[in-house]
Amino acid sequence: MSVPVLTGVAELADRYDGFLLDLWGVLHDGRSPMPGAVDALTNLKRAGKRIVVLSNAPRRVAGVIRRIGEIGISRGLYDELLSSGEAAWRWLRQGHPGGRRFYAIMATRDQNMLEGLPFEQTAEMEAADFILNTGVEDSAVRAEDFEAALQTGARRALPMVCANPDLVVVNGGKMEICAGTIARRYEALGGKVHYFGKPHAPIYQESLVLLGIADRRRILAVGDSLRTDIAGANGAGIDALLVLSGIHRDELAAGDLEAVCRRERALPIAAVTGFRW
């Protein structure tokens, strides 16, 4: 297995009509656009490509669009945006997974996930009917901080809703755990988790409808996570491009790209050092 490293997306843009782009680590770092990202989006749009941003952000679509606009990724640079938070919210809005009270593991920035839901929040795991897990406040928080609560939830067999399957994210240059890390620990304790977002098939089915391109050979997914972005694209039967400057940057700088891909059981068609034209 050999993964070529390209200088930018221009080298393969002609092969594809549609692009599924990850957000955090590809288009921005949580505070500003990644170097070259806005230029790459501009050139893809100029070339007539259809672009859907597919994010594991545990927030509703309107909030994500508003936030990335504030940091410099304007609405005209992409056609549609779909978030794992939106998918989770829709499922919850239908009354799943049952019960009235939820225990939240949630950052302040994710509060719009609660708007319009038919549930009430409780600070006591013993009183909860399920757990809503969107992630942590900042890089100072560790998974171990939730151990006692998770053990209680697992003992009571409470279902967990995980609105972001990512394990980690680079936020402003610092590595921060995501909801997926907490969900993984909950599963290790015997808990049941309902996942929304990449790499799970339903989010790809919806995003491909938004793209509106029937031939999957003409679609390229771009992401910085082998476990979610690349493996998810592999499962959906579409090509994937790995961005090396994201969450794998340290291990890839010190190791072998192909070996890391084999370990994660994810295969990109190529890699780029950053999402640039």
The pLDDT of residue 120 is 96
In this predicted structure, which of 156-160, 213-217, 253-257 has the lowest mean pLDDT? 253-257
Q: What tens digit of pLDDT does each residue of 146-157 get?
A: 999 999 999 999
Q: For the segment 92-109, what is each residue's pLDDT rounded down to a tens digit?
A: 999 999 899 999 999 999
Nearest to 104 by CA among 146, 62, 165: 146
Which whole number is the average pLDDT over 200-219? 97
**What are the chain's domains?**
5-56+198-272 (3.40.50.1000), 99-195 (3.40.50.1000)
At 231 the pLDDT is: 97
**Distance (Å, rounded) from C-alpha 89 to C-alpha 116?**
9
Say yes or no to pLDDT of 272 above 90. Answer: yes
- With a CB cutoff of 8 Å and minimum separation 6, the contacts of 243 are 22, 25, 26, 222, 223, 224, 271, 272, 273, 274, 275
Q: What is the mean pLDDT of residues 236-258?
A: 84
Residue 243 CA to residue 106 CA, distance in Å, equals 28
**pLDDT of 254 above 60:** no
Residues whose CB falls within 8 Å of the CB of residue 54, separated by 6 or more in sequence, listed in order: 20, 21, 22, 23, 81, 82, 198, 203, 204, 207, 221
Q: Residue 5, exposed/middle/buried by CB under 10 A (0-12, 13-18, 19+)?
A: exposed
* pLDDT, mean over the chain: 94
What gap in Å lies between CA 203 and CA 148, rounded to an integer?
Answer: 31
* 105 three-class SS: strand
Low-confidence winner among 31-45, 170-184, 253-267 (lowest mean pLDDT): 253-267
